[in-house]
Structure 1
Amino acid sequence: MFVVESPGFAAALKCLRRKLQRDSGFPSKRKLDEILSINPEQDKFSFSHRMRSLRKKCFKSTSGLHDDLSGVLQFFVRVSSRTIVIRALPEDTVKLVQDQLNAKTRIPQSEQRLVFECRLLCPDFTVAESGIKNNSSIQLIGRLKSTPLPGAWMVANELVSATRSYFPRKLVSTDCSYIEYLVNIFLEMIPNDDVHSAWRYLDVFVFSGASAALVSLYASSKVHSSAKVHAENAIKIFLRLDSELWPSHLFRQSLTVVLEFYKLLSAAVSRSDRLLLSCRRAISSLLESTATLEYVHCNDKRWHLRVLEEILPYVRHSSGVLALNLSQWVSSNFSHDNFICASVLIEDFSSFLSPLRAGIGRPCLSLPCTCEQAGIKLSENGFRWLHIIFVELLDTMGRCLGQVEEKMLRDDKWAGSTILLTLLTTINDLTEIFPQGENVFHALLAKHSRAVNALIRKAKHSHGLWWIRKHRDVTNFESRRHLALLMFPDELQDFEEMHEMLIDRSSILTESFEYIYNADALSLQGGLFVEFKNEEATGPGVLREWFCLLCREIFNDANVLFRSCPLDRRRFYPNPASDVEPLYLRYFMFCGRLIALALMHGIQIGIVLDRTFYLQLAGRPISLDDVQDADPFLHSSCKKILEMDAELLDSDVLGLTFVREIERLGVRRTVELCYGGKDKSVNSGNRQRYVDLMIRHCFVTSTSAQVKSFLTGFSDILCDPLSHKLFFGSLDPEDLDRMLGGDDGSVSVKDWKKHTDYNGYKASDNQICWFWKVVECMSKDQRRSLLFFWTSVKFLPLEGFSGLGSKLSICRSSKSVDHLPVSQTCFYQLSLPPYPSHATMKKRLLFVTQAHVNSGFGEP
């Protein structure tokens, strides 16, 4: 039998019975007893229907009788989209209130959770003990057991209640660490072996409002700082990808919660907030890690699509804000305040877009479209959004580049280049998605090529501008050189960390080889400190001199390591016969390190690598035209074979077969160019293959071991040893010639004068006038020798004296006129005594240009 335990309901029944005597429309007492005597287990429908009807009449009749029921409280229970009115006495338990709700909603009491003022009401507490007052509002969270993961819902809602209890004027307050405890409990509930269930758990965390409650507590200014700290720590639990709570295969699932945190924090805190920045970095890491995964399982594909669709609104909003801010930045003449805001916005935008671009792949579809990439479909609307973003960024970038060149010319230290370089890289990430995207982007770069090259010259390694190789025709030599040199580490200024060498001039090659080959690569990347034995000179001037003297020894014609080109003695390629030297592979590794170090230190050593050598280093094929400088005879012979009349060649008048004759140390031998080559005649049908095989054997096969060792040594000096192909691929052969060889032409006296200052002299003094007259009358080699004596620079950069970085100077020496000039090569300084006549000046200057004098004669 059902027993009515509620005093409030009993009081209502008593009031109803009193009115039965005055109103015959109400049921009699016997009728009421019949209703109450129904067994709810046997006739649930009849009992519920009659009880609802009876309670409706009871409470309707007593709605205005507070004089009779002065202790009855009326409050409102919110259930989904409707509100239920409940009446109870203060001494009634919450459990009795749940009984009334059960009758009205059919939600079992065991599945009901009542939340009042962010607190979960205990069923055993009375209405008064729970703090419920007249006209209060209560939230009913029901059907926990009939929904998936009821335990997760309970913990998440408890977290919401606990979080809100820290606000002022709340009834209950708990220990601040309680919210961190609840977050950890929630994460421990997530199964490690079921990816699909992990999504559902994290969805519960978001849909329950737990993430919003944590952000609200963190961003509020009305709570104690300790509560904010604990809220921050609770959020950071989701950002710690190395946490034991996050197995590696669940990293991706955490992205949905982190995205929710980022959205809420963006609206609640400043863009420079540390937690917001941490959240953004976590999103970027998660997206980058998921972009490289192979999506095999169906669930993974659905998750990937879900993430892409969730990220797109963020990217679309971020791009709009970024475009507006950049427009304001340009219109304000690149003000500093707008620069800071633009920096944050571009970082925010790129952190979302780049991984998104990597996750989409390359659909190569036109719009409108539906993309299917590896079984993942992105909506047509999503690609429309990406297209709008692409067009907006192109337009914004065009307006920025239109004004940036003038700004950079006025202000050499302008810091805004970082923003535009990052934006250029971001636009490039989008070009492959759309047809003609690369062509449109290339047209923009070509239109503003001067501004683009000015920006590239301010780039750093972190900007990742290697994609610019696709637009090589837009760049100039200075830009390509700058990008290539970014692959080398920065020179250290601390002499204690440099690789020190004490070299004897008489055995410079042998001792330098021991120092460089046996050194640890990391110590060489820090820079070099060179001293010559029995000499006090040190510094950059000595380093430049060491490079020039050492390279002169290595690339000497008497050395077997390299061959010089017949028509250009400054151009070298590996000698196939270098294996006569027992340590030839070690020496080639040493040479690779030396060339890389010369490039890193920006020293022109006066030699260049032949085109055949460069193409091997870059991993490119060698054609007939490429060997013209290295072997003019081979080039001419092969060209004649290709141009010969077909009938004449087929008549075997030349008697050629697929073999090559090699002479080494007076011994001749024959090598087959292919299997069975000695029995295969060259004819009009296979002559092109014969030429290709001959060139390959002469310049690739016969020197492959030398080139490999050279590359190994060269790669040791790069920041990333695996980027050597990227280094050589980012340059033209002529670019590397300029970087290593410098200017081999005659030294311009006019340019020399323009970049020379005087200390103790005036330009009109006799000594200075005599000095320049003597220099003008010198030969090309004498001028170069004087320049080397003065600066330890034998081959100027292509920019001339302006490329040295600082001006030269002539100082008045206090020494007698019997002394020779003295140089301080580190500072490009020449100390010149006040010689009394032009003849004396000429005699002294010509003496220091002699080969046995100009090396090592100066001071540091």
Structure 2
Amino acid sequence: MSQTTKTLTANHGKNHFSKLTCSSSKMKKVSETKSSKLQFFVRMWNSNTLVIRSLRECGIENDANLQLVGRLRSIVCPKVWKAKHYIVSLILRLCTGKSVIGASTIIDDCFTNYINDSEYFSVSMFMEIPSLLVDLYANGRIAYSVIKDFVKICLNSKDKKLQGVYLEVLLEFCELLRRTGCKSDDRLYVFCRDSFASLLTLVGGVSFHNPKGKVMLRGVFDCVHEIAYKLLRFLDLSMNCPTGEGLSFKVVLDFVKFSDHLRMGLAMHQATSDEFLNCAICYTEGPLFAGVVDQLHIVFIKLLSKMDKCLEVMEDCLVNKKHGKGDGAAVHNGWSHYIIILKVLFHISKFYSSAQEQFWGLFLRRKNVLPHMIVRYVKKTDDHRWLLENRIVTDFESRRHLVMMLFPYLNDEILGYEMLIDRSQVLAESFGYISQAMPRSLQGDLLMAFKNEKATGPGVLREWFVLVCQEIFNPRNALFVACPNDHRRFFPNTASMVNALHLRYFIFSGRIIALALKKKVHVGIVFACVFFKQLAGNYIITLEDIRNADPIMYSSCKQILEMDADYIDSDALGLTFSIEVEELGHREVIKLCPGGESLVVDSKNREKYVHLLIQNRFVTSISKQVSHFAQGFADIISCSRLEFFQFLDHEDFDWKLHGSENDINVEDWKAHTKYLGYKKNDRQISWFWKIVGKMSAEQKKVLLFFWTSVKHLPVEGFHGLSSTLLISKSREPGNHLPSSHTCFYKLCFPPYSSMAIMQDRLGIITQEHISCSFGTR
């Protein structure tokens, strides 16, 4: 027989619990005769076990009937019960001040031998021991090492069932230590709390939908609440400490860990509800969980308010630093923690209907602070996608920084991909190398050289990107079409099938563009809106989207939409929902919808006609080209292609790919140039800048390209280049042509004897067909 239902008697020393029918008032009298450590373990109808310290906690009324059913201890596992009682008696002796030689080792051995078996170990068997150990710890005895050793056993367990049991025990240790008055920085308490968080991660968090989960979630919130108020104090210190030493990174990490677990539990509720967890919700499922949602919202408000003040101080420091005033020039180490805290607050804001507006409002007030934090403190390993949910609070520089984080790491195992390209066959040979490469090999360095040239390095690579992109988007290769009103803008050519390998070339093109973005090379082309939108996953092309791509179609469609209704209903235009197209000398009728050849366009359906016409021209007819380009692009990035393009505005992408649209500013050029062998006031330097100042915009670009292999500057101008430019005095004869080391942005020329000779030599190298083959790169 495994259970007993005998009547409870006054003899509490028997080896069983028993069935009882009596009033709760009588039970209270019985419990008052026992030690304050008396606990009841009640197996509920749903098989969950509750640890009850007070009958009132369960809302049990006077004269209510209780039924207690227990297992005979002698039947389950006598060795385990014996070990448990031995531990209890040993701890009680220690609590009374008695000395026991080797007590710590004895208890550790008992734990090791008997609690690692999930068949026998349970909370109900063990739960009185934590209370006694904490009492022992409060009395300054040996409990510190005993509890720590036991916690280590819990963390090392691989048994999933035992991990769940240990989780409850670790939470019990935390709560008991907190009740005994242990401060939040007590070393044992911190160790137990950290271990509780670690074990939570191992078991995958806690479930919201069962009684044990609610108890656990309440315990997690207590940790969040405790750490949040400690964090508030540290934030106060950080505002008054320029070095940021007041803000403990350990506190920040603890806040992140426990907040994440709490959010996971709340998200389980959110998933079953269409509403936010607003503060009016009343949790009647159990008293242990009541008030968590309200209190979490209070924590959110207080931390958000404190962060507002922190960012205000940070903003003032940045302004002072910009103007060289006071302590503003000091580096504030604590600022790197701010963005971690803000990320947690962002996720919490998702649970409350008005909290998101409050959260983003903080950044609208402190608009200059977030971009600074992103560029300076967001690292590649961070989960930074939340920062792009509201692009209005970021600027181009910060968005560019975040998007660059989407490219994969340069793995040490990837040695690089080597190419040897013939300049006269740059497109065909580049296609061969890049197309046959495995995507993984392209994630490392690209090592390339031109045939019969000694130069290698970053400068040669930049030049190659520019040259290969010129060929990809060259109209004679029929891959892309330039917009009539803006020859820098391109979209796929519907007639690209003239090349049997055209779809493979689109995969190649996608790879090249992604690699150019990864290497931060501005190639001088941009995408038409109709192309960019589809790469970003938006396949609905509007009339305004085609304004640049096809001005004639734009004008015709606009006229149809604005035409007098009576005139268009008279069928004067003779239009049906079908069009005739010609490709490669072959004419074909295409239906815009089923039965389109017999459906006449009138004033009621003309909007549909225009929509279908645009979709056919700019979506359907180039869908294969777009998908293959996207496939090649996705080979290079570490996230989905849609995610990459959705994080950028069309204008952002233009700036990243093309660079600055402004003419080169000579004064900015001079300000970012240093000299080697020359001095700033030497006559050769004076002549040089006078000659450059009189050059055409195209000549300046060619000279810059010869000098650096950069033909299109970043949006920031010369300030955005990776290093300062250098003019060096060479030892060549006085009539020798300039040379360059593009990897180092270094231009070399001899001390010319006259401005006329220098102008002649510079005129030679600024010819487009010459600038690509001169110099030492």
Sequence identity percentage: 37
Which residue number in structure 1 is paired with residue 46 of structure 2? none
Which residue number in structure 1 is paired with residue 462 of structure 2? 544
> Map of 1:317-466 to 2, 5 A cutoff?
317-340=226-249, 342-361=251-270, 363-364=275-276, 366-370=278-282, 381-408=291-318, 409=321, 410=328, 414-458=332-376, 459-466=378-385
Separation in 1 of the partners of 2:295 and 2:449? 63
Aligned: 1:706 with 2:614: no
Aligned: 1:256 with 2:168: yes
Once the two structures are superposed, residues 195-214 of structure 1 have per-residue CA deviations (whole angstroms, 9 ceiling, x without a partner) of: xxxxxx65326632348749
What code does the residue aligned with 2:307 have?
M
How far did 1:449 drift?
0.8
Contact 2:399 2:648 in 1 (8 A): yes
What code does the residue aligned with 2:362 have?
L
Q: 1:664 aligns with which of 556, 578, 583?
A: 583
Separation in 1 of the partners of 2:366 and 2:529? 32
**Higher mean displacement: 279-288 or 261-270:** 261-270
**Higher mean displacement: 697-706 or 836-845:** 697-706
Cα 1:489–1:836 change in 2 (3 A) is same
Contact 2:507 2:632 in 1 (8 A): yes
Count of aligned positions: 699
Separation in 2 of the partners of 1:174 and 1:630? 84
Aligned: 1:488 with 2:407: yes
Aligned: 1:695 with 2:695: no
What code does the residue aligned with 1:631 have?
D
- Give the match's secondary structure for 2:603: coil
How far did 1:709 drift?
1.5
- Give the match's secondary structure for 1:758: strand
Separation in 1 of the partners of 2:189 and 2:471? 57
- Give the match's secondary structure for 1:468: helix
Cα 1:446–1:675 change in 2 (3 A) is same
Separation in 2 of the partners of 1:405 and 1:221? 51
Aligned: 1:856 with 2:773: yes
How far did 1:442 drift?
2.1
Cα 1:834–1:683 change in 2 (3 A) is same
Unaligned runs of 5+ in 1: 1-43, 49-78, 85-141, 192-200
Q: What value does the CA root-mean-square deviation take over the aligned residues?
A: 3.7
Which residue number in structure 2 is paired with residue 90 of structure 1? none
- Give the match's secondary structure for 2:544: helix
Q: 1:246 aligns with which of 141, 156, 160?
A: 160
Q: 1:807 aligns with which of 724, 738, 746?
A: 724
How far did 1:220 drift?
8.1
> Map of 1:243-322 to 2, 5 A cutoff?
243=158, 245-246=159-160, 255-260=167-172, 269-270=186-187, 277=194, 279-284=196-201, 286-287=203-204, 300-322=209-231
Q: 1:797 aligns with which of 714, 726, 730?
A: 714
Contact 1:588 1:710 in 2 (8 A): yes
How far did 1:359 drift?
3.5
Q: 2:498 aligns with which of 553, 556, 580?
A: 580
Cα 1:255–1:709 change in 2 (3 A) is farther
Cα 1:216–1:171 change in 2 (3 A) is closer
Separation in 2 of the partners of 1:156 and 1:794? 79
Which residue number in structure 2 is paired with residue 188 of structure 1? 117
Separation in 2 of the partners of 1:713 and 1:274? 50
Cα 1:496–1:685 change in 2 (3 A) is closer
Contact 1:346 1:422 in 2 (8 A): no
Separation in 1 of the partners of 2:170 and 2:477? 64
How far did 1:579 drift?
2.2
How far did 1:544 drift?
0.5
**Higher mean displacement: 687-696 or 777-786:** 687-696
Which residue number in structure 2 is paired with residue 747 of structure 1? 664
**Higher mean displacement: 751-760 or 205-214:** 205-214
Cα 1:782–1:495 change in 2 (3 A) is farther
What code does the residue aligned with 2:313 have?
Q
Which residue number in structure 2 is paired with residue 474 of structure 1? 393
Contact 2:215 2:288 in 1 (8 A): no
How far did 1:274 drift?
7.4
> Map of 1:63-102 to 2, 5 A cutoff?
81-82=32-33
Contact 2:168 2:216 in 1 (8 A): yes
Separation in 2 of the partners of 1:211 and 1:534? 81
Once the two structures are superposed, residues 521-570 of structure 1 have per-residue CA deviations (whole angstroms, 9 ceiling, x without a partner) of: 22211221221222111111111111101111111111121111111111
Contact 1:329 1:339 in 2 (8 A): no
Q: 2:453 aligns with which of 516, 521, 535?
A: 535
Separation in 2 of the partners of 1:652 and 1:216? 97
**Higher mean displacement: 494-503 or 166-175:** 166-175
Contact 2:460 2:709 in 1 (8 A): yes
TM-score by length of 2: 0.81
Q: 1:570 aligns with which of 456, 478, 488?
A: 488
Cα 1:278–1:336 change in 2 (3 A) is same
Contact 1:311 1:356 in 2 (8 A): no
Which residue number in structure 2 is paired with residue 636 of structure 1? 555
Separation in 1 of the partners of 2:592 and 2:263? 48
- Give the match's secondary structure for 2:155: coil
Separation in 1 of the partners of 2:136 and 2:573? 90
TM-score by length of 1: 0.74
What code does the residue aligned with 2:656 have?
M
Once the two structures are superposed, residues 253-298 of structure 1 have per-residue CA deviations (whole angstroms, 9 ceiling, x without a partner) of: 654344445665985754997776454333245455x57xxx8xxx
Separation in 2 of the partners of 1:564 and 1:165? 90
Q: 1:821 aligns with which of 728, 738, 744?
A: 738
Separation in 1 of the partners of 2:556 and 2:104? 91
Contact 2:127 2:169 in 1 (8 A): no
Unaligned runs of 5+ in 2: 1-7, 12-29, 36-68, 322-327
How far did 1:587 drift?
1.4
Which residue number in structure 1 is paired with residue 509 of structure 2? 591
- Give the match's secondary structure for 2:495: helix
Contact 2:154 2:163 in 1 (8 A): no
Q: 2:100 aligns with which of 156, 160, 171?
A: 171
Separation in 2 of the partners of 1:237 and 1:592? 53
- Give the match's secondary structure for 1:188: coil
Contact 2:674 2:725 in 1 (8 A): yes
Aligned: 1:651 with 2:570: yes
Separation in 2 of the partners of 1:506 and 1:655? 51
How far did 1:463 drift?
3.6
Separation in 2 of the partners of 1:668 and 1:80? 97
- Give the match's secondary structure for 1:689: helix
Aligned: 1:678 with 2:597: yes
- Give the match's secondary structure for 2:264: helix
Contact 1:405 1:454 in 2 (8 A): no
Once the two structures are superposed, residues 808-829 of structure 1 have per-residue CA deviations (whole angstroms, 9 ceiling, x without a partner) of: 1111111111311110101111
What code does the residue aligned with 2:168 have?
T
Cα 1:689–1:206 change in 2 (3 A) is farther
Contact 1:357 1:430 in 2 (8 A): no
Cα 1:205–1:313 change in 2 (3 A) is farther
How far did 1:618 drift?
0.7
Structure with the greater alpha carbon radius of gyration = 1
